[in-house]
């Protein structure tokens, strides 16, 4: 149970982040949802959480911006009094083959998917250190472990996130803070809607469990890593991919 815990979830409005927000709320947590532009969707998710009897607030913030991330963390701490769980889930893709990939597309993906997580950890960890407790969960990807043609920027960011996870785990363990990552495979969200029917069918075909992941599959792992049952787990990269990367 996550009774009376506060979870800050970046990208908590849609897709995997939304499923994590709802699953944590079902376990008793209050939720701060960070989104970048789509306010209506963020409000809808917040309403669903309030309907579960939990508190929810939405914050528009570009996690790629250090100061904006800092101001948002401050506002969340003022509103909720603590941040017990930080889920770095916000992410984007700008796929393309190496030979033609634009520098801006490489930089944008690193800025959101990797630096964004650093910014949030940097700003949230002070409050967790003072409380001598906290759980940080980074959403990486099997692309960061296997590599993936057409995703040099994304795979590099996600591999970087694994290094960030392990280092954060080592630095903060002595203060009662855990840091783990979840590496999803292919999950049914807006992100993978960009793929063609053929690409999706080919993807499902190579997954040993023969189906795409659902956001709820990832959310169940996040709830586990945020709870007491996972108190002795830190620095772990948990694949939730239907066996895609065995
Ligand atoms: P999604 O449906 O595209 O949702 C992305 C979320 O991130 C939205 O809430 C979006 O907010 C937010 N966001 C994007 N850029 C942001 C920024 N700069 N600052 C703050 N928020 C930002 O994505 P998803 O498929 O759920 O993916 C969630 C995470 O899982 C990502 O890190 C992704 O890399 C990872 N992942 C996904 C898959 C998959 O197959 N789907 C597989 C492996 C890993 P707005 O709505 O306001 O734009």
**59: annotated active-site residue:** no
**Backbone CA torsion sign across 148, 153, 154, 158:** positive
Domain residue spans of the chain:
6-239
Number of neighbours of residue 17 by Cβ within 10 angstroms:
29
The answer to whether residues 90 and 68 touch, using CB atoms and an 8 Å cutoff, is no
Place of tokens 């930089």: 107
Number of neighbours of residue 82 by Cβ within 10 angstroms:
17
Burial of 110 (0-12, 13-18, 19+ CB in 10 A): middle
| Full strand arrangement of the beta sheet holding 6-10 | 56-60, 30-35, 6-10, 85-88, 134-139, 177-184, 237-240
Number of neighbours of residue 232 by Cβ within 10 angstroms:
7
Ligand 1 mean position, distance from CA 112 (Å):
10
Ligand 1, residues 9, 10, 11, 150: which to mutate, most atoms within 8 A of Cβ? 11
Rounded to two decimals, the pTM is: 0.98
Q: Given the CA of residue 39, which atom of ligand 1 is nearest to it?
A: 47
Query: What class does CATH assign to 6-239?
Result: alpha beta
Ligand 1 mean position, distance from CA 92 (Å):
6
Q: Given the CA of residue 13, which atom of ligand 1 is nearest to it?
A: 9
Half-sphere exposure of 168 (CA within 13 A, CB side): 33
Q: Given the CA of residue 36, which atom of ligand 1 is nearest to it?
A: 47
Task: Write out pLDDT tens, residues 9-54.
Answer: 999 999 999 999 999 999 999 999 999 999 999 999 999 999 999 9
Task: Write out pLDDT tens, residues 42-59.
Answer: 999 999 999 999 999 999
Rounded to whole angstroms, how far apart are CA atoms 140 and 154? 10
Task: Write out pLDDT tens, residues 149-205.
Answer: 999 999 999 999 999 999 999 999 999 999 999 999 999 999 888 888 888 888 889
Residue 14 beta carbon below 6 angstroms from any ligand 1 atom: yes
pLDDT on residue 200: 84
């Amino acid at each position: 149970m996550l009774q009376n815990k506060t979870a800050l979830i970046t990208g908590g409005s849609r897709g995997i982040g939304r499923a994590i927000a709802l699953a944590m709320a079902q376990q008793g947590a209050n939720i701060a949802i960070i989104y970048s532009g789509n306010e209506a969707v963020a409000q809808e998710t917040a309403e669903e959480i309030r309907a579960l009897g939990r508190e929810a607030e939405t914050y528009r913030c570009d996690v790629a911006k250090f100061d904006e991330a800092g101001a948002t963390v401050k506002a969340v701490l003022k509103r909720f009094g603590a941040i017990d769980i930080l889920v770095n889930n916000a992410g984007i893709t700008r796929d393309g083959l190496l030979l033609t990939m634009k520098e801006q597309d490489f930089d944008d993906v690193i800025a959101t998917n990797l630096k964004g997580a650093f910014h949030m950890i940097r700003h949230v960890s002070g409050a967790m250190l003072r409380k001598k407790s906290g759980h940080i969960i980074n959403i990486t990807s099997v692309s960061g472990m296997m590599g993936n043609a057409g995703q040099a920027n994304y795979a590099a960011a996600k591999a970087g996130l694994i290094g960030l996870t392990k280092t954060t785990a080592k630095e903060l363990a002595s203060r009662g803070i855990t840091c783990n990552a979840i590496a999803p495979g292919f999950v049914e969200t807006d992100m993978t809607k960009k793929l063609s029917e053929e690409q999706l069918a080919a993807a499902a075909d190579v997954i040993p469990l023969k189906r795409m992941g659902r956001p709820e599959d990832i959310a169940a792992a996040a709830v586990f890593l945020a709870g007491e049952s996972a108190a002795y787990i830190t620095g772990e990269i948990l694949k939730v991919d239907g066996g895609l990367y065995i």
